[in-house]
Structure 1
Amino acid sequence: DSLAPFVAGGFPSLGISGGGSTGNLSFGLQPYWHGTERFVVWLADSGGTERGGSNVSAPQEFNLTVLPVNNAPTFELAAPSVPVLEGSGRTSVLLVVNISRGSPTGNEDEQNLTFFVARVADGAANLTGELPSVVLNPDGKTANLSFVAQPYWYGVDTWVLTLEDSGGVESGGGDASAAQ
Structure 2
Amino acid sequence: NVLTGFALVSSTGGPLEPAQSVTFDVSFASGVADLFAAQPTVALAGNVGNLTLQLAANRYGTANYTVVARDSLGTENGGTDTSGAVNITIDVVFVNQPPVFDLANTSLFEHEGASGVVAGFATNISMGPAGSNEAGQNVSFEVESGVYGSWFVSGPAVDGESGDLSYELAPFVNGVADLRVRAVDDGGGMNASEWVSFSLTVLPVNDAPSFELSGNVTVFENEGLESAEGGVFVDGFALSIGAGASGDTLGTESEQRMTFDVVFESGDSFIVSEAPFVNVSDGRLLLRVARNRFGAATFMV
Residues 27 and 67, structure 2, Cα contact 8 Å, conserved in 1:
yes
Match of 1:81 in 2: 107
Unaligned regions of 5+ residues in structure 2, if any?
1-19, 197-301
Closer/same/farther in 2, CA of residues 125 and 156 from structure 1, 3 Å limit: farther
Q: Which moved more, 1:146-155 or 1:13-22?
A: 13-22
Match of 2:90 in 1: 64
Q: Which moved more, 1:46-55 or 1:23-32?
A: 46-55
Report the 3-state secondary structure (helix = DSSP H, G, I; strand = E; otherwise coil) of the residue aligned with 1:126. Answer: helix
Match of 2:67 in 1: 41
The question of 1:117 aligning with 2:137 is answered no
Report the 3-state secondary structure (helix = DSSP H, G, I; strand = E; otherwise coil) of the residue aligned with 1:156. Answer: strand
Distance 1:96 1:48 in 2: 62
Q: Could you tell me how far 1:158 is from its partner in structure 2? A: 2.8
Residues 59 and 132, structure 2, Cα contact 8 Å, conserved in 1:
no
Q: Could you tell me how far 1:12 is from its partner in structure 2? A: 4.4
Match of 1:31 in 2: 57
Unaligned regions of 5+ residues in structure 1, if any?
none
**Greater RCO (Cα-Cα under 8 Å, separation 6 or more):** 1
Residues 135 and 144, structure 1, Cα contact 8 Å, conserved in 2:
yes
Query: Once the two structures are superposed, what CA deviation does each residue of 1:53-112 show, in whole Å capped at 9, x if it has no partner?
Result: 654333322111111221111222222232111222x21113222223213236213210
Q: Which moved more, 1:107-116 or 1:7-16?
A: 7-16
Report the 3-state secondary structure (helix = DSSP H, G, I; strand = E; otherwise coil) of the residue aligned with 1:131. Answer: strand
Question: What letter corresponds to residue 22 of structure 2 in structure 1?
Answer: L
Distance 1:144 1:81 in 2: 15
Larger Cα Rg: Structure 1 or Structure 2?
Answer: 2
Structure 1: which 4+ aligned runs deviate by more than 6 Å?
Answer: 49-53
TM-score normalised by the chain length of structure 1: 0.78
Closer/same/farther in 2, CA of residues 78 and 51 from structure 1, 3 Å limit: closer
Number of residues of Structure 1 aligned to a counterpart in Structure 2: 169
